[in-house]
């Protein structure tokens, strides 16, 4: 499945636009990761554990986007974007939301 951030595919002709596709991945935080991130806030530096969560989440969101595109009969997804956000749960926790969107197309 070709997936690109561009609006066209060089060397291909788009024969049909099938419409928008979205895929969402939601991750919860955990106490150990939060504790380590808190230490990074005090001492500075990157938070590798959260970086890995976002890297994995982005890959899973793209995989899900491609899967949904295949189910609708698309050959490719164009104009793909990735967005991240957080969802606050009470005063206690946060969920990470990673969304991939694009347009499913058929190619010739």
What is the average per-residue pLDDT within 10-38?
80
Model confidence, pTM:
0.80
Candidates 2.60.120.1270, 3.40.50.2300, 2.60.40.10, 3.30.110.70; CATH matching 2-9+24-107: 3.30.110.70
**pLDDT band for position 38 (cuts 50, 70, 90):** low
Q: Which residues contact 9 (CB under 8 A, 6 or more apart)?
A: 2, 76, 78, 107
Domain extents in the chain: 2-9+24-107
Q: Find out whether 94 and 86 touch, Cβ atoms under 8 Å.
A: yes
**pLDDT band for position 92 (cuts 50, 70, 90):** low
Residue-wise pLDDT for 43-75, tens only, equals 566 666 777 888 999 999 999 999 999 999 999
Looking at residue 72, the DSSP 8-state letter turns out to be T
Instruction: Please tell me the distance from the alpha carbon of residue 70 to that of residue 100, in angstroms, as a whole number.
Output: 15
């Amino acid at each position: 499945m070709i997936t690109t951030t561009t609006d066209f595919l060089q060397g291909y002709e788009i024969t049909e636009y099938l419409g928008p596709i979205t895929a969402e991945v939601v991750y919860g935080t955990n106490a150990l990761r939060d504790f380590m991130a808190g230490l990074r806030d005090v001492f500075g530096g990157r938070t590798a554990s959260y970086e890995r969560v976002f890297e994995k989440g982005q890959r899973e969101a793209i995989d899900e986007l491609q899967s949904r595109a295949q189910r609708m009969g698309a050959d490719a997804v164009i104009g793909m974007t990735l967005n991240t956000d957080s969802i606050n749960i009470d005063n206690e926790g946060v969920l990470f939301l990673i969304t991939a969107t694009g347009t499913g197309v058929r190619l010739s």
